[in-house]
Every structure is written in structure tokens, then in C-alpha cells.
Chains A and B, each alone.
Chain A
């Protein structure tokens, strides 16, 4: 199994450009999440999904859109990139809280390092 795969690994954008960060998992996990990590601020939840067709906002959703058309894929779209979106983005997945798996460990992708100029 590949686990959680994120592409691209690095990206440089100009202010105002749009792009999509890809995330795919092959563990048949119901839950998927996007986090951003900034120095001194830890990981902050952007958007999450509890299953195909269901998404919801996290702590810092502004400027980002998501969709979940399949169990495997959870892309994150930057609509109009801003310098404040320069960050490292992590996608994570886990089984649902009702799956009977008590730990429901979140597994993380390798991250996308984004710079917005």
C-alpha cells in the first residue's frame, strides 16, 4: 500500500493564481483532512470530510475549497493564491470514529510545500 500520496511536493505560485493540491489514499479510510503547518503555530485544520460527498470547514477554511467525489481522493483548491497561504500543507486520513477501531490513527502524506510570491 502507498498510504497517503500528495502531489506536488513543491509549488511556487504568483499572487492571484489558482491551483489544486492532490491527495489520494488507498487504505479505504472514511475520514480525510487537510492541515496547514506554519512555524510556531502547529498544524491547523482547513477542511475535512467524513465520507464521499460530505465535506465541512475546519479552523482556517477561507481561501480554500474541497470536494470528495470518491473515497480515495480529496483535492484542495486554492482559488486565488495570496502570500498568507505560503505554508506546508498536509493531507491525512483515518477510519471513522464509528468503525470500531478505537485508535482511528490519522496517517499523513509527505506534504506539499507552497510558496506564494
Chain B
């Protein structure tokens, strides 16, 4: 089985940097995804890590340590539009785990 933990809520100020952590336990690992979900909308893909290290894409970066079962999403130069829920998801190796197992999401509020 798979278990994913991430903080429920975070608050940050416009222009600042925020780090959203995710820890996971899984019997087989085949990638970790971060999705952004605005209220009332569908999740949209942000980033993907399958090897250890940092992946950078504009203002967003994601880090993975497979040995520690740990990832974080780093958001720089925060904007008001970044207020959303951020979902950490893990893909396993077989059966239903080849689909995604999601954490409960971290609701980020960006204040002016």
C-alpha cells in the first residue's frame, strides 16, 4: 500500500518563497507528481520527479529523495494566483498503484 502525508494548510506573503513538504511510504515507487488545484477546478500538472534531485521549471521547483521518502515543492516569487491546493501524488509499480495515490493536499493562501 501507499501512504502520503503533507501539511493541511500554509500561508505566505506575496513575493515570498514557500516550501510544501510531502512524505510517502510505498511498496513500489515509479514517480512522484505535484498537481495544482484551484477551488472548483480540476487538478493540473505541475512537476514530476522519478530520480533524486531537483527539477526546476520557472518559479516552481520540486525535489525528491527516494531513500528518505521525501519530496518538496518550492514556489518562488509568490503571486496571488498561486493561492490553491497543492497535491502530492505517488505512482507505484503494479496494479491499481500504476495509477496515482494522492495526499490530502496542502491549501496555500497567499496574502498581499
- Give Cα A57 to B97, complex, Å: 11
- Give Cα A42 to B100, complex, Å: 11
Q: Nearest-CB distance from A116 to chain B (Å)?
A: 19
Interface residues on A, range: 20 to 34
Q: Which of A20-28, A79-87, A106-114 contacts B (4 or more CB under 8 A)?
A: A106-114
Q: Which residues in window 28-81 of A have CB below 8 A to B?
A: 31, 33, 35, 40-45, 48, 50, 56-59
**Cβ of B42 and Cβ of A90 under 8 Å apart?**
yes
Q: Nearest-CB distance from A7 to chain B (Å)?
A: 14
- Chain A residue at smallest Cβ distance from B50: A102
**Cβ of A108 and Cβ of B96 under 8 Å apart?**
no
B87 contact from A42, A50, A102, A109, Cβ within 8 A:
A42
Q: A42-B105, A97-B30, A105-B48 are in contact. Are A31 and B87 (CB under 8 A)?
A: no
Q: Which residues of B contact A31 (CB under 8 A)?
A: 98-99
- Chain B residue at smallest Cβ distance from A6: B42
- Give Cα A103 to B41, complex, Å: 22
Query: Contact residues of B with A, CB < 8 Å?
Result: 8, 30-31, 33, 41-45, 48, 50, 87, 89, 91, 95-96, 98-105
